[in-house]
Structure 1
Amino acid sequence: MNSIEGVAKVKNLTQPAILDVSFFKGVPDSPYWVLSTDYQSYSLVYSCTDYYGMFHIDFAWILARTRLLNKEVVSQLHDELVSAGVNINKLLVSDQAGCERSKAKINERPIIGILAQNSRYLPPSSTGYIASSYVKFLESGGARVVPIMVNREAEEYKRLFNSINGVLLPGGSANITSSGYQRASKIFYELAIEANKRGDYFPVWGTCLGYEQLTVLTSGEKLLTRTNTSGVALPLLFTKEAKQSRMFKNFPAELMEALASEPLTENSHKWSVSVLTHKTNKDLKNFYKVLSTNTDGEIEFVSTVEAYDYPIYGTQWHPEKNAFEWRRPYISHSPSAVMSTFYMAQFFVNEARNNFHTFESEEEERSALIYNYNPVHSAPNSGFEQKYIF
């Protein structure tokens, strides 16, 4: 490797600007140069050398405050380093400040936002609620939770988006064409689409109403059909794409068999996206891969989807209820039903592990977490055992 001081000459990047350079001399050529975005809120460029399994950082190059270095900046960085005389065998985009080897790093501390919503059954002074079962669902998969309040400024949502690692749009009764729930969902959905296009992996999950909301955001219109599916548990009718889907490909065979043959999925919806509608609407058909369907005896409807090109997922059924809700007799609590809850939770949380947004400080993170609120026992006057009321 040429003298590392040569790297300090690379000062003409349009974004971001160089703040500092530190280096270690006398280290042989490194096989990898790694571009990372997990040095607090800074970016860190460094090379590393593998000495019989022990990594040595050759140098560290701290860049200006940024959360994403897009392809253009990465390409420019590569060209500038080569022009500076640095021997680069490989330039990688890494997800943590550590040396990249054969296996990608993951975020071991994922934080997922759950969107709150209003309800006419809440106290007049409240601003929204989240059913505790959604919080427990994500926590069971290894994530922490941040509530996303409705009716906040777009800039606040954008700051929160850049601090969390995924979003869950829960079920409920909000208006999906005009409400605080719809507005916040739209903002996070569009931010997620933009981020994923830039290579900033950001997953979105919609359950029941949340899935219906996703279809409105994708198609630009409400495409729901009335179905007799309020208060029933059903087996999933898997499509041929399900087995190799991102969502289901790592599920145990016995669990897939149980989901297909036993009434394990709780349905609490009066409206659905019919299979016919999905097939004939170009926006839905081109965006979402159908993984399962169901029928109320007359109308076949879509029950599970994943986007073709984005980490966006939807279920018309409620995977969280089997383990955490006890008010309704039709909710299955069998071993397979409970196992399905945890496998679905683990899948989505693992998706969030591929994102590396962080809060600006530990104090800001602590103040945002759901731990700052206490759930209340809302049964028997509610379909939920517990709620967080804000």
Structure 2
Amino acid sequence: MTTSNITHFLPFLLLFAVLAVWINGSCAKVPDEDDHAAFLGAPICPSPDNSLYYRPVIGILTHPTDGAGGKLNKTSYIPASYVKFVESGGARVIPIIYDEHEDTITHKLELVNGVLFTGGFMTLPSYTNVAKKIFQTVLHKNEAGNHFPLYGMALGFEQLIHFVGKNPNIMEKIAAYDQASKLNFYTRDLGGTVFQSFPPELLNKMSTKCLAMHNSGVGISRERFEKNSTHLPSFFKVLTTSVDAKNKEFVSTAQAYNYPIVGFQWVPPKNAFEWGNRKIPRTEDAIRVTQQTANYFISEARKSKTKPDETEVLAHLIYNYQPVYTGKEGKGYDQVYFFP
């Protein structure tokens, strides 16, 4: 056969070759799951830790007023930054509306795996009473063997100090509004604390750079904290202190000895999720502080024995509400969930 003849038949030869490959492939056995597992080496992935709950839910207590001086005619709110903080750690949120019926609050506490008390600008006796009952419920759950964490931030931490210290006048005036500061580690023993998984280099940066955002006019000095000898020092371990604008030292992070309860006189969610205040630290390290703090909280919530009915959870999730953009004026919270 001449070269010209071969060239003439070349397209047909290529077509037959393609058809042969296609027919051979279509007749071949498609690997099933067993074949696939055998090829990769079963089991493909290790089983999760059955002692942990991987669908944790956090209850966030709403704060009195609408956060806008009553202009919006709402009775309570949750800054969306706290919701995002919880979600960034791998959990969902159920709002615990402070003025709803006591039975409803009790029911919601059976659907969550931990609780968060937010910061805020005012308190009412009704709010304080509900927060105290929730605090007592957290203690009872843990004493009964159900690991149940609580975070209190800024005003939330102040509430914890009041409840544990049994003194409504224990707080002192500090000048820490709109202030980023360093955290002075009061102890080197951070095992089992919120800071246990922080990389050493990040802990060092937290003690040398201003990575913690404060927004408080009251706090508690280390001296007053320690003089409350029958209550606070036996319940809380001081982890960090900070210094206000007038060089006054105050307790900035404390963690309970015998309960998964942590109090912050700073607000970790602000670094990553609030934009109205230009003094909030924005560096990559500041964002890592937010993330590490969220991760610890939710890792503690996964230890909870509460495994609620999913239908009940869905009925109460914060997804049933819509956040409102409130940050156009460049101050306050960027987004807020309002509750009638």
Structure 1-normalised TM-score? 0.71
3-state SS of the aligned residue for 1:293?
Answer: strand
231, 235, 259: which one aligns with 2:178: 231
Residue 329 (structure 2) pairs with residue 375 (structure 1): no
Quick one: structure 1 residues 386 and 242, their matched pair in 2 at CA, closer, same or farther if it must change by over 3 Å?
Answer: farther
Q: Which runs of 4+ in 1 moved over 3 A?
A: 122-125
> What does residue 250 of structure 1 align with?
197
296, 310, 319: which one aligns with 2:259: 310
> What does residue 218 of structure 2 align with?
271
145, 152, 156: which one aligns with 1:210: 156
| AA partner of residue 105 (structure 1) | S
| AA partner of residue 323 (structure 1) | A
> What does residue 172 of structure 1 align with?
120
Report if the CA contact (8 A) 1:157-1:187 is conserved.
no
> What does residue 325 of structure 1 align with?
274
Mapped to 2, the partners of 1:356 and 1:127 lie a distance apart of 33
Residue 63 (structure 2) pairs with residue 114 (structure 1): no
Tell me which moved more, 322-331 or 289-298. Answer: 289-298
261, 267, 283: which one aligns with 1:334: 283
Indicate the structure with greater helix content: 2
Q: CA deviation at 1:255?
A: 1.0
Mapped to 2, the partners of 1:210 and 1:386 lie a distance apart of 19
Residue 247 (structure 2) pairs with residue 291 (structure 1): no
Quick one: structure 1 residues 194 and 158, their matched pair in 2 at CA, closer, same or farther if it must change by over 3 Å?
Answer: same
Report if the CA contact (8 A) 1:241-1:290 is conserved.
no
Indicate the structure with greater strand content: 1
Report if the CA contact (8 A) 1:206-1:313 is conserved.
yes
Quick one: structure 1 residues 273 and 104, their matched pair in 2 at CA, closer, same or farther if it must change by over 3 Å?
Answer: farther
3-state SS of the aligned residue for 2:64?
Answer: coil
Mapped to 1, the partners of 2:313 and 2:86 lie a distance apart of 17
3-state SS of the aligned residue for 2:327?
Answer: coil
Report if the CA contact (8 A) 1:117-1:129 is conserved.
yes
Q: CA deviation at 1:124?
A: 5.4
1:165-221 CA deviation, whole Å, 9 max, x = no partner? Answer: 00000000132xx43321221111001111111111111110000000001111221
| AA partner of residue 280 (structure 2) | I
In structure 2, runs of 5+ residues without a counterpart are 1-41
| AA partner of residue 317 (structure 2) | L
3-state SS of the aligned residue for 1:233?
Answer: strand
Report if the CA contact (8 A) 2:97-2:105 is conserved.
no
Percent same amino acid among aligned pairs?
Answer: 35
3-state SS of the aligned residue for 2:216?
Answer: strand
> What does residue 67 of structure 1 align with?
none
Q: CA deviation at 1:150?
A: 1.2
Q: CA deviation at 1:332?
A: 0.6
Report if the CA contact (8 A) 2:53-2:307 is conserved.
no
Query: What is the total number of aligned residue pairs between the two structures?
Result: 289
1:44-64 CA deviation, whole Å, 9 max, x = no partner? Answer: xxxxxxxxx99xxxxxxxxxx
3-state SS of the aligned residue for 2:187?
Answer: coil
Quick one: structure 1 residues 291 and 277, their matched pair in 2 at CA, closer, same or farther if it must change by over 3 Å?
Answer: same
In structure 1, runs of 5+ residues without a counterpart are 1-52, 55-99
Mapped to 2, the partners of 1:213 and 1:245 lie a distance apart of 23
> What does residue 133 of structure 1 align with?
81
> What does residue 4 of structure 1 align with?
none
